Amino acid sequence: MIGLVHFLTVAAIVFAIGLYGVLSKRTIVGILMSIELMLNAVNINLIAFSRFITPEVLTGQIFAIFTITVAAAEVAVGMAMIFRVYYDRNTVHAARLDEMRW
Amino acid sequence: MNELIYTVAFYIFAAITVAAAFGVVTKSNLVHSALLLALCFIGVSGLYVLLQADFLAAVQILIYNGAIAIVFVLGTMLTRRSSRHGTNDTEVNIPSRVVTLVSGLFVVVTLGVIATTPWHYSSGVIVEDTPSLLAQLILTDYMVVMEAAAVLLLAAMIGAIVLAKGVEE
């Protein structure tokens, strides 16, 4: 019997993989991809809770829709920033973009 | 019999999702990562189908695979550098081991919390016709949020154009 716990487990694993990617990738494109993984894990959680805890209302699915909206906006702006940084600095390596480091 | 099919489908989609997500962060070629990311999104949309969120499964395929994965592939190809290193390397030093440890610890702690929390399952009737009810909710109870999301998308679109193209001062 597949229940809430199974879906939450998958989401937790995907979130941790995304967390690892955000903290360890060298290029900012890879970091952005890992952020998408984390957002997807959150969406799985929201929909699983909506299905198993409150199946008669769709609040979780509404939340997931807005999460997807924000994720799409985030990717658009993030990729634009990456293009800009690449145009100006000619690199997408996070370690070389350290002008603002104190 | 239905139960068995559901279980098998869950494990297939969960395996696709987790394996593809693992590939995204471990592959050293950024194009491979982007394509695996698309596969991961497909697995997630299969999980949505199993959770009876049919509309969101379609939205997941349309937006994540149709738009976000494509933008990632595009971005990868436009920012490619010819170097002897891979395009999507992972840091290999002491802090990165700490990061791996922290991520593993996160999984263990979260799984422990999930296993020990007493969930209050509801036995209410599951909504069958999600798209029409979602539309109703979005245009009534969550009207203001939808307007905010619309403004956010517009701002993101303008911001992305200005950032990527630049403006004449």
pTM for this entry: 0.90
Interface with A, mutate which of B39, B163, B167 (most A CBs under 10 A): B163
pLDDT band at A24 (very low <50, low <70, confident <90, very high): confident
Closest residue of chain B to A22, computed from CA coordinates: B25
- Residue B88 within a domain: no
Closest residue of chain A to B69, computed from CA coordinates: A33
Residue holding tokens 């209050």? B120
- Select the residue of A12, A47, A74 nearest B48 (Cβ to Cβ): A47
- Residue B107 within a domain: no
What percentage of chain B reaches a pLDDT higher than 90? Answer: 46
Report which residue type is found at B29: N
Domains identified in chain A and CATH numbers: 4-89 (1.10.287.3510)
- Residue B144 within a domain: yes
Exposure b/e, A89-101, CB count within 10 A at least 16 = b: eebbbeeeeeeee
Query: Domain containing B45: what range?
Result: 1-80
Shortest Cα–Cα distance, A97 to chain B (Å): 15
pLDDT band at B121 (very low <50, low <70, confident <90, very high): confident
Q: Are B75 and B8 in the same domain?
A: yes
- Residue B105 within a domain: no
CATH of the domain at B53: 1.20.120.1200
Give tens-digit pLDDT for B17-33: 999 999 998 888 888 88
Q: Residue B36 has which token pair?
A: 């695996």
State which of B80, B115, B139 marks the end of a domain: B80
- Residue B103 within a domain: no
- Residue B120 within a domain: no
pLDDT band at B100 (very low <50, low <70, confident <90, very high): confident
Mean pLDDT of chain B: 87
Cα-flanking dihedrals φ and ψ of residue A21, to 5°?
-65, -45
Give tens-digit pLDDT for A59-101: 889 999 999 999 999 999 999 998 888 888 888 887 788 887 7
What percentage of chain B reaches a pLDDT higher than 70? Answer: 91
**B18/A contact by beta carbon, under 8 A:** yes
Determine what percent of chain B falls in helix, strand and coil, rounding each to the nearest 5.
75, 0, 25
Shortest Cα–Cα distance, A63 to chain B (Å): 10
Q: ipTM of the predicted structure? A: 0.91
Task: List all residues of chain A from 53 to 72 with a beta carbon under 8 Å from chain B.
Answer: 53-58, 61-62, 64-66, 68-72
Tell me which long-range contacts B126-130 makes (C-beta under 8 A, separation of at least 24): B126/A51, B126/A55, B126/A56, B126/B52, B127/A55, B127/A56, B127/A57, B127/A58, B127/B52, B128/B52, B130/A58, B130/A61, B130/B52, B130/B53, B130/B54, B130/B55, B130/B56
Q: Is B130 helix (H, G, I), strand (E, B) or coil?
A: helix
DSSP 8-state code for residue B126: P
pLDDT at B5: 92
Total of domains in chain B: 2
**A89/B contact by beta carbon, under 8 A:** no
Give tens-digit pLDDT for B132-163: 888 988 999 899 999 999 999 999 999 999 98
